[in-house]
Amino acid sequence: MRRALFPGTFDPPTNGHLDILRRASALFDEVIVAVAMNPEKNPVLEPGERVRLLREISKDLPNVRVASFEGLAIDFAREEACTTLLRGIRTVTDFEYEYAMAIANRKIGRIETMFLVSSEEYAFLSSRLIREAAGFGGNIAPFVPPAVEKAFVAKMPKRAGRKKPRR
């Protein structure tokens, strides 16, 4: 069985994540979306909320399973008998970081990494961008599935708006 692990923080899950997941589900017998529990990142959504949302938005993909984990992704991949780590790549900067991680993961964990290049319409999209936009009251609907928008906007702390420009 070809089983891949798609690890990430997913705070929040985006249309870009869903695009990668849909494409990966066509390549593997099973894809496990692994929600990292990393409190140092100060997530807006709790791990359980992210797991629930990812399950909801991927319910039409029967070979996708969602779980959470702590620690190293390669250790979780080993526990789940995954042979491949799956990573989305948007930019050259992403590639440089992910390439170094892939080499380290192969050396330490004896696991291969597969890069899926982002679809053009999501190449600019990041969870950080969405958190920033939502924090200022921006419309995030074009960037996330409807269930994610509702849950995320409800939890997102509002920041003080920007001052109006002087005339």
List active site positions. 17, 41, 90, 127
Beta partners for residue 116, in sequence order = 88
Task: Enumerate the H helices of the chain as residue ranges.
Answer: 15-25, 47-57, 73-79, 92-109, 127-135, 146-155
List Cβ neighbours of 131 (8 Å cut-off, separation of 6 or more): 11, 12, 44, 156
Contacts with 134 (C-beta within 8 Å, 6 or more apart), sequence order: 140, 152, 153, 156
